[in-house]
């Protein structure tokens, strides 16, 4: 006769009577009405998120509603572009500048070499002389025999307050500027306007049988002045005095 066992002890022989199948420890417990339980109490279950945090739609809605920043990922933010530019070496900057300067230098060389960019624009003074003669307000003189080195770069005849002016601009063989002015404007008004008020006579010069007067002028310019009844002739410019004398002596 076996000794009595405690009430909560499971018998070693779990074979049910009357040929029923054995019930293992893993079988779900039977309900009172004889049907098996729907949930295995021994199985591990995932906790249910009551707030719907695992739902992507719900998470997006919470981000938009509460301005919650999304979770960070492992992506590394790109470096700002300004930093990359600041890291350019002096050599790269010099090469970039060279790329810009080379086309400019080529265009400048083409302009000077083939298009004559450095050459002054030469004009025909004949129309201005014709207008002055047609006006018949003072005797008109014209240079003769100056040579090919002299180039006419401007010519005009116009009426001004107190009279009329015939103005012819030249470029000398040495590349300096000279201007021939013939006018019937009174000398006391014409000379200060052309030579400035500081222009002063420096002595007479005989050129082509006429007595000219040397004058100082603005800046580094000098002038030769011929005073005649009804006309004043001025040769002025930054050219050397020998070229100014050549121009004044050639007037006929």
pLDDT number for residue 226: 98
> 127 with 155: CB under 8 angstroms?
yes
pLDDT number for residue 95: 84
pLDDT number for residue 55: 57
Q: What is the pLDDT along the chain (252 residues), one digit of tens a residue?
A: 455 555 555 555 555 555 555 555 555 555 555 555 454 545 554 554 555 455 555 555 555 555 545 555 555 555 555 555 556 788 888 888 888 888 888 777 766 666 555 667 899 999 999 999 999 999 999 999 998 899 999 999 999 999 999 999 999 999 999 999 999 999 999 999 999 988 999 999 999 889 999 999 988 999 999 999 999 999 999 999 999 999 999 999
List all residues 6 or more positions away from 26 whose beta carbon is below 8 Å from its beta carbon: 42
pLDDT number for residue 8: 52
pLDDT number for residue 204: 96
List all residues 6 or more positions away from 35 whose beta carbon is below 8 Å from its beta carbon: none
List all residues 6 or more positions away from 6 whose beta carbon is below 8 Å from its beta carbon: none
Residue 238 CB: number of other CB atoms within 10 A?
A: 15
pLDDT number for residue 23: 52
CA dihedral 190, 192, 196, 197 (to 10 degrees): 170
> 174 with 154: CB under 8 angstroms?
no
Distance CA 17, CA 171 (A): 139
Task: Give the tens place of pLDDT for each residue, 188-235.
Answer: 999 999 999 889 999 999 998 899 999 999 889 999 999 999 999 999
Judge if pTM exceeds 0.95.
no
pLDDT number for residue 1: 47
Token pair 């998470």 is at which residue? Answer: 59
């Amino acid at each position: 006769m076996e000794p009595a066992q405690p009430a909560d002890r499971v018998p070693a022989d779990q074979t049910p009577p009357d040929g029923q199948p054995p019930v293992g420890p893993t079988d779900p417990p039977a309900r009172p009405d004889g049907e098996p339980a729907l949930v295995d109490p021994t199985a591990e279950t995932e906790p249910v998120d009551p707030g719907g945090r695992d739902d992507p739609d719900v998470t997006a809605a919470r981000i938009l509603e509460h301005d919650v920043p999304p979770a960070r990922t492992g992506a590394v933010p790109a470096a700002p572009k300004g930093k990359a530019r600041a890291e350019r070496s002096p050599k790269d900057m010099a090469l970039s500048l060279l790329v810009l300067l080379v086309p400019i230098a080529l265009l400048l060389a083409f302009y000077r070499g083939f298009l004559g960019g450095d050459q002054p624009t030469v004009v025909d003074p004949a129309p201005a002389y014709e207008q002055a003669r047609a006006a018949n307000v003072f005797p008109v003189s014209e240079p003769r025999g100056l040579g090919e080195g002299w180039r006419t770069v401007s010519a005009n005849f116009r009426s001004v307050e107190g009279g009329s002016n015939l103005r012819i601009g030249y470029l000398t063989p040495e590349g300096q500027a000279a201007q021939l002015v013939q006018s019937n404007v009174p000398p006391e008004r014409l000379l200060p306007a052309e030579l400035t008020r500081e222009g002063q006579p420096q002595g007479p010069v005989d050129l082509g049988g006429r007595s000219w007067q040397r004058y100082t002028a603005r800046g580094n310019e000098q002038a030769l002045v011929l005073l005649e009844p009804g006309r004043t002739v001025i040769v002025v410019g930054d050219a050397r005095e020998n070229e100014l004398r050549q121009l004044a002596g050639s007037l006929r």
